[in-house]
Structure 1
Amino acid sequence: MSTYSLHFPIRVPDDVLVELGKFTGTFWSDSFAQEPFVIEAIRNYINPAPPAPQQPVEATEAGYQWKQVFLPEGTRLRASFGRQPYFATVVGAEIKYDGHAVSPSCFANLYGSGNRNAWKAVWLRLPGSNEWLLADVCRSARKAAIARLHGDGVQADGQRSPAPERPSHDVAGIERVSIPQRSTVRQTGPRPSESRPSNDPAAPQDNGTQHRSGSGRSARRRKRRAAKQIPGNP
């Protein structure tokens, strides 16, 4: 396989050549001496070396307890005022800023009017992490973890939620079902066994028991009056 030697001039800024000459120990205008370093730099740029594995962070019990959030030693705190950030670090069991121990609220209000909420103004970067998280987000996540630890019946604010209503069961464990009772309709009319009085004068009156003709107190009175009217009767 034949190879070709291609020679193309590449312009390099003067300041870069000067810095490369100082780094390699060669004179900046000696192109033949700087050629291998330039080639090595290009190849390293095309095929970068794999990143070194991160060393595991040793667990430590030291740190600062900020309400529900625990800040392990080495935690970085960041706040800003006038778009200028400033930082603090957890050292041992204290938050240190410029060599002085401060509270989260004091750190958040080092500059300004002094009425900022530290949970909304302070960002945290825990040891071994490259991400900055708002302190209020860490607090919400910690509350949710506490709720899961104590069960679903405990809310994030620590109060126990009311238990759901369950249907009552009898002794045999069968669910009781309440059946609506049928409404009772009072019968206002006469019962089938009762006879209805007829409006016909010729129809015989019956109140449930038919009396024989000529019986009763009225009939006896009529008989006595008829006997008195017979001559010879006292």
Structure 2
Amino acid sequence: MPTSPKIKPTYNLQFPIRVPDDVLVELGEFTGNFWSDSLAQEPFVIEAIRNYINPPPPPSQQPAAVSEAGYQWKQVFLPEGTRLRASFGSQPYFATVVGAEIQYEGHTVSPSCFANLHGSGNRNAWKAVWLRLPGSNEWLLADVCRSARKAAIARLHEGGALADSRPAEGERAPAPPHSAAREPAARHLPASQTWPRSAAGQGSAPAAHDKGSHRKSGSGRSARRRKRRALKNEVKPH
């Protein structure tokens, strides 16, 4: 069965509450009513008490947009809001990156100009200027920031070169270069120049002097002469 809504009990309480004199006067000035006009001040007092008991939810905060503005100092990028500090005679002075410029007392300066605002004008800005990036509480020497940035750039280039040397997916890695000192390929002799194998299944090449004698007996001038004489005898009439 549906439950009936709870009915808040009504009270008829009458009890005075003391308000300090200065608060009562400030409330009268805020509402525009005289401080002693209790009937006119009553709704403002009630509203203030209820807002104190049940405060309204805080408004939703939109995330702040990230600014891409800043000053490019060689390899080091100084985001907008970066603080620069230098000193002369133990007295520090400061500048701030505003937009894409370094501002010092309303004037646009370069890092070298900022570092040499006081003194002889021959100071190296990398060695004389300290930086505090937005959101950080630490001051870092500009030269330290430059060294760290150079190291990061070197690692980035090394990683890119390593990725370029790796074969793409589905490709085979290139074969290593052949050595200059290679063994000569085995000669394949025709069947007419191969020698018979022995009964044990191992071939043995004829001796060098046998090959020499075979060439002498089948070639040369003496062999040609014998062939001509044989040919004359065959065609000679009987």
TM class by shorter-chain length? 0.3 to 0.5
- Using the size of structure 1 for normalisation, the TM-score is 0.42
Normalized per residue, which structure has more helix?
2
